[in-house]
Structure 1
Amino acid sequence: MALQLEDLSGEPGLKQLDDYLLSRSYISGYQASRDDLSVYLAISKTPSAKFVNLARWYDHISALLGSSFPGAAAGVKIAGSAAATATTREVAAPAAAPPTPETAADDSAEAPAAEEDDDDDDVDLFGEETEEEAAAAAEREAAKKASGKKKESGKSSVLLDVKPWDDETDMKKLEEAVRSVTAEGLFWGASKLVPVGYGIKKLQIMMTIEDDLVSPDNLIEDYLTAEPCNEFIQSCDIVAFNKI
C-alpha cells in the first residue's frame, strides 16, 4: 500500500516524515528502495538537525546515491509534489526523427557515438536529472564546502525501550534521567511513551552514537540501569540498531 505523505516543502510534512522514521530505517521494508529515492528527491534541502530521524535517514540515502536500491518499493504519494512515485516513474526517450537524404551520411558517422550513449543509458539508475534536483544537489555541495567538514562515518542509530518500575513512576523524571546521561559521541533524539498494560507506559527514545566512542551495552549497564537512573528505570533494551 502506497505511503501518503504531506507536502515536504514545509515543517508539517517534514515532522510527519521524522515521526514515521522513528522506528524505521527505510521508507518501505528493510532495504533501500526507489521509495526512498522518491522521498529524497522531494526534499528540496538538507533537513534541519531538529528532525533527528529524518536527518539520519537523509544522510544515509545521500551516501547510497550512485549505488543500487535493491528493496521492494510499495509506492509513495507526496502532497504538492509533481514527481511520480518510485513504482511508476519512467524516463521516456525522445522519439527519433526520420532521416533525410541530407542527414543520412551524418547519422551513419555518428552511429558509434550513439551506441556509446545507449550503453550509458543502460546503467542510468535514476533517469534524467531535473532542474530542481540539480539545484538541490548544488546547494548541498555548496553547504559541504562552506562548512569545510568531511562527512562523518562510523555512526549508528539506536532505538531503546526504557521501562519503569511500576505505574506510579514519574515518566517525565524518567526521561530526564535518561537524557541526563551524556558522553562524547552520544546524541539523544526523539522520544514517545508507549502503553505496556495495567496503566504502565514505557519510554521509547532514539539515540545516535559514534561507534568508536560509545557502546550501547555499556551505556545501559553502567548508566541507565545503575544509580541514580535506576531509581526510575527498571530495565532498558535495544529495539533497533542501524548503521548510518
Structure 2
Amino acid sequence: MNLSTRSPLLCLSTLTACLMLQGAAWAANSVTLNAPLAGDAVYAWNSKFGPYGYTVGGTELGVGLQMAPPYGNDYTVGIIEIPITALQGGDLLGAQLQLNTVGNFGTGYYYGSVAISWLDTGARSLTGDVVADGLGAIVSGGSGGWSVWSSYTPEGAMLKQFDVASAVQADLHAGRSFSTFVLNGSRDTYGSIYAAESGLSLGPRLLADTTAAVPEPGSGLLLLGGVAILASLLHRRRSSTR
C-alpha cells in the first residue's frame, strides 16, 4: 500500500488497529483462591425437630448423618464459599477444588460415603459469610457429588482434588462472586476436613488457570513509531496544499 496516495488519517487508524491486534497476546495465569474465614461453616438439623443452626470458627468442617429413631435423624454438613472474582474477564482453562481431610472418615452402618457437591445458589447475593448468606436453609436436600470417601475404598487422611471447572464456569456465567460447595455424608457416616481457620495450605481452596489478553512489551513502542510516521505524512500533505 502506498501511504502517500491514501488518506493519512485512514492509514493512521488502520495501522493503530493492526498494531493493537499484533501487540495483544494471550497470557496464562494461575491463581489460588482460598475460602475466607467466614466462608466455611457447619450447619446441622434434625429431620423431626428442625435446624440446630451453624457452627463457625473451628478448624474443622464436620459431616455426619445419624439415624436414631424415634428421635429423628441428625444431619451435619459443611458449607464452603470460595471467591472467584479474580477469574472474571478471562477464559477459564481449568479449576480444581482441594480439600485436606482430618484423620479417617468412618461409618456405624454397613456402608458409608462422603461427597462434596456444588451448590447452585441461584440469584442469591453472596458475601463470603456463610451464616449471613443463610445458605443452611437450602442445603438440607443436598446429596451426592464428587466422592471424598467411601467405606468400599477406605483411605487415610490425605489431600483430595476435584475437577470443578464446569461448576465454576457456571457461576462465572451467572455473574456470581463465589462458588459454593457442600460436604455431605450418607447414613451413620462421620468425619471432617480442615477449615479456613487451619491456614491457606490446609483450608478449602480453588486452583484455577485462566487466560487474559495482555499487551506485549514492544507493542507500545511500535504503535508510537507508526503514529509518528503517519503524523509526518499528514504534515507534509498539508504543507504541499498551501
Mark yes or no: TM-score above 0.5.
no
RCO higher in structure (CA 8 A, sep ≥6): 2
Q: TM-score, normalised by structure 2?
A: 0.22
Structure whose residues are more often helix by fraction: 1
* Higher alpha-carbon Rg: 2
